[in-house]
Structure 1
Amino acid sequence: VNIDYLKKHADELKRVAASVLTGTVTASLLINKLQSYPRQNNLMYVLQSYGQLVKTIFICKYLLQLPLRHRINTQLNKGEQLHNLRVYLWFGGDGIIRKKQEKQQQVTARCLNLLTNIVMVWNTVYIQEILKQLQKEGYQVDEKDLEHISPAPFEHINRLGKYDFNDEIRLQENGLRALRPPVDKR
């Protein structure tokens, strides 16, 4: 990264940042305009150089700070768990959208997103109930532990089996089913 080059064109960077921050121009419009020029202009080189500087600083922090790597890895694992939930829910068609029209493809993708969101909301509500129950039983729930909880587990979802629409399900005062007792995994 050429720091002297960035210092020389710092005023241009400040003008671009002010324009984006004040809403005079959107970031997407700025990028579209810069990309439409036949040859890259000076501002494009300055922005690329600044981006390289930011990326270099991040990579150095990532390599030197073990807690940062752990945090990023935790988030990546949550993303993978969300991906695995979508794969699990998308059991018909081997994960391939076979519709020919774009509108039908969008409907299919939106249905998968809706189903994924439903599962995540359900999980989030019940995870909150579990945390309340643990606190009620005297367990200390540390805020740092919540970073490791994902709303995308799916082992409890029966996507193919028997469905029972029993009207006699007893709901608690909060409108939720009672939590199951923990399973002893010894």
Structure 2
Amino acid sequence: MNERCGFLSTMTPLQPRYAKKIADADSLMAVIIAQATNLGNLAMSQTCDIPYHTLDETYRQYCRLATLRAANDRVANFIAQLPIFEYYSSDLGALFGAIDGQKFAAATPTAKARHSRKYFGRERGVVASTSLTNHVATLANLIGAHEHESHYVFDLCYHNTTDIAPTIITGDMHSINKMNFAAMYWFEMDFAPRFTNLQAQLKHLFCGDDIEQDDNFLIKPAGQIDLPAICDDPCVFEQIIASLSVKEMSQQALVRKLCALSPHHRTRRAVFEFDKLVRSIYTLRYMRDPQLQRNVHRSQNRIEAYHALRGFIAEVSGRKHLIGKTDHDIAINNECGRLLANVVTAFNSVLLSQLLERYQREGNEKALAMLKKISPVAWRHIHFLGHYTFRNENPIDIAAMLAGLDLL
């Protein structure tokens, strides 16, 4: 994958002026795999052909959040240019993205690592909140286990630096709060969470007119939206939108400020009432459109499949956790895991793209239809544990791998 998209070229040294030599690709790959699989540089040096001092120096000089995110962006943009990428879309008119959190235990207690008996028992851990679009992890952020995932949904979407721009963002019930529908609407993104219980959503339906006009309908609103609170002072929304657009304020800080205000404050009331309006419209669309429900459900299944791959990579060392002495080190470890997962997805996407071009030339419609049902998130053909040999070049011939493969 590095030969095809050159993602390792984004791994620049911390001090380029004083760097004695540029790190080779073999050392960079060894460090990324060591961090992603939680083996660590010492264990990796004992199971590969690169000494420990080389791995340690490469990690200190090249592994940073900025370089790792740039490498992830390079791999994501490469996948988006493959022919198979458009086959992952659930709807031709929209690109679905998904956001969800994955729990990881922390090997060393840090400031973000918090207790959660449900997920970590007596230990501490963090939550890796990830944004996924068509099987590609576009952005990830570590939050504490005590924090609500919905406070970071907008930031994960708006801070996306890849060329992949989803138009519809899906999530589970933990992604819903009293402002996410409004914030997504302001920035021309549709927020489409998956409702687990439609009957329970009836109490969140509100109308703009007199509530007594809907007494004869089967589905009745639970209350009336305060339209004057929304329309009387539009400058309230303009200030919030401006603060979020220039990235001077995060969504988490905004939610905390809104919740600290009085329930009768005009800013808080205007935002929450506008969120009721957008949520009610989406809830009605979700109830009457089975295709929308299927697309949202499929999008959430994809991020669960990514979590399975990401969890398997983290468990190569024998335990599903993140290594690092500080929150910064844990974030670097998580970015390495996301990079390795994206590389696996890119490798599988290249294989599927080769098959796609072959069947298009042959005009095999049955094989093309079956190809749409194959997920690029698979790892049974990849060995993550064993003795790593980086120095000896052994190129992979993709054409030879696919020569005897036939879906029918």
TM-score range, shorter chain: 0.7 to 0.9
Q: Does 1:181 align with 2:386?
A: no
Aligned 8 A contact 2:309 2:377 in 1: yes
In the alignment, is residue 26 of structure 1 matched against residue 244 of structure 2?
yes
Give me the CA root mean square deviation. 3.3
Percentage of matched positions with identical amino acids:
21
Does structure 1 retain, via aligned residues, the 8 Å contact 2:208–2:227? Answer: yes
35-44 or 79-88, which deviates more = 35-44
Question: Which structure: larger Rg?
Answer: 1
**Other-structure match for 2:312:** 88
Relative contact order (C-alpha < 8 Å, sep 6+): which is higher?
2
Within the candidate set 87, 93, 104, 2:329 is matched to 104
Asked if the contact 1:13–1:47 (Cα under 8 Å) also holds between the matched residues in 2, the reply is no
Give the structure 2 partner of residue 156 of structure 1. Answer: 381
Gaps of 5+ in 2: 1-205, 210-224
Aligned-partner residue type, residue 60 of structure 1: L
Q: What amino acid does structure 1 have at the position aligned with 2:292?
A: L
- Determine if contact 1:123/1:152 at 8 Å carries over to the other structure: yes
| Residue pair 2:349, 2:376 contacting (<8 A) in 1 also | yes
**CA separation of 1:71/1:43 partners in 2, compared to 1, >3 Å: closer, same or farther?**
same
Q: Work out whether 1:133 is the aligned partner of 2:338.
A: no
Query: Quick one: which of 34, 59, 66 aligns to 2:283?
Result: 59
Distance in 2, Cα, partners of 1:183 & 1:162: 31
Q: Tell me which of 202, 208, 216 is aligned to 1:3.
A: 208
C-alpha separation in 2, matches of 1:183 and 1:152: 19
Do residues 121 (structure 1) and 346 (structure 2) align? yes
Q: Any stretches of 5+ residues in structure 1 without a counterpart?
A: none
User: SS of 1:135's equivalent?
Assistant: helix
Q: How many residues align?
A: 176
Distance in 2 (CA, whole Å) between partners of 1:183 and 1:8 is 63
1:69 alignment partner in structure 2: 293
Larger proportion of helix: 1
1:67 deviates by: 0.6
In the superposition, relative to structure 1, how do residues 168 and 160 fare at CA in structure 2: closer, same or farther (>3 Å)?
A: closer
- 1:108 alignment partner, SS class: helix
Work out the CA distance in 2 between the residues paired with 1:77 and 1:29. Answer: 28
Q: Alpha carbons of 1:15 and 1:167: their partners in 2 closer, same or farther (altered >3 Å)?
A: same
Match of 1:44 in 2: 268
Tell me the CA shift for residue 20 of structure 1.
5.6
Question: What displacement does 1:26 show?
Answer: 2.1
Residue 68 of structure 1 deviates from its aligned partner by 0.7
